[in-house]
Amino acid sequence: MKKKEIRDWVIQSFKPVTLSVPMETLDQIVDASILYWNTHSGYKIVRMFDAPTLDDRGRGALQLSSEVKTVVHCYPSTMQEELFSNHPMWILLGFITLDKYTQDLMLLSHTFEGYRIYLGNDFRWKWIRSDDSTKGGWLFVQQTPRGSSKFAIVGTKRVIDGEDITDEFIFGWIREHARATTKVFEGNVLRHAQIIGIANSGQVMVDEGTEEKKILEDKLRQEARWMMMPVRR
């Protein structure tokens, strides 16, 4: 669903009433709703990107698409050795007693840290957001596990200009927000008409539209709380 289709849906939703709000204003309202979404939403997406060229220490930089607004997690396609990943103690506590290796090795914390780096478990990443919303930000990686050809990126979604919005939740929220905003604008037009002696329900529309916008914006804020969970990097 493109911006024009969202605008047309808003117009049709008020039928049989013909809106007083100009078409140009309706386009601006849709743009404002998309901008609010891009500024406040925490809608989760997962995207795969090819790994950048790495130096001998597993470091590199990758520019992501502008669709990715924020990176919350980054997972290389190759993780630590299977022995580590399948062991319950490693999964739950972050360490393991290796039966096949000497116990003295596990007592030496600095040696254990060396093993973590060697096995790729010390993978680190840093996200630098772009100041230009039309360009993607940069993901810097370090200690990338051997053999990783791709990165799985968990982040938040940005609606880019001209995009055909196919996700039902996204275009549903945007069009409902645009409709509520239109109701506020239309109500204000009717209120001004009431001043010159024409009785109408302009204030009712303003109140309804304002309340509907508040509910939608609160919902968007609540659904972004998953990003506030502590992340270990």
Furthest C-alpha separation in the chain? 92
Residues 6+ positions from 18 with CB-CB distance below 8 Å: none
Beta strand residue intervals within 57-180, DSSP E: 60-63, 68-76, 124-128, 138-142, 150-157
- Residue 204 pLDDT: 87
Across-strand partners of 71?
155
- Half-sphere exposure of residue 152, counting CA atoms within 13 Å on the CB side? 8
- Residue 105 pLDDT: 45
pLDDT, tens only, 46-81: 999 998 888 887 789 999 999 999 999 998 887 655
Q: What values do phi and psi take at 72, rounded to 5?
A: -105, -40
Per-residue pLDDT for the chain (233 aa), expressed as one digit of tens each? 899 999 999 999 999 988 888 999 999 999 999 999 999 999 999 999 998 888 887 789 999 999 999 999 998 887 655 444 444 544 444 444 444 444 554 454 555 555 555 555 568 899 999 988 889 999 999 888 877 889 999 999 999 988 999 999 999 999 999 999 999 999 888 877 665 555 567 888 899 999 999 999 999 999 888 887 544 44
Q: Is 12 exposed, middle or buried (0-12, 13-18, 19+ CB in 10 A)?
A: exposed
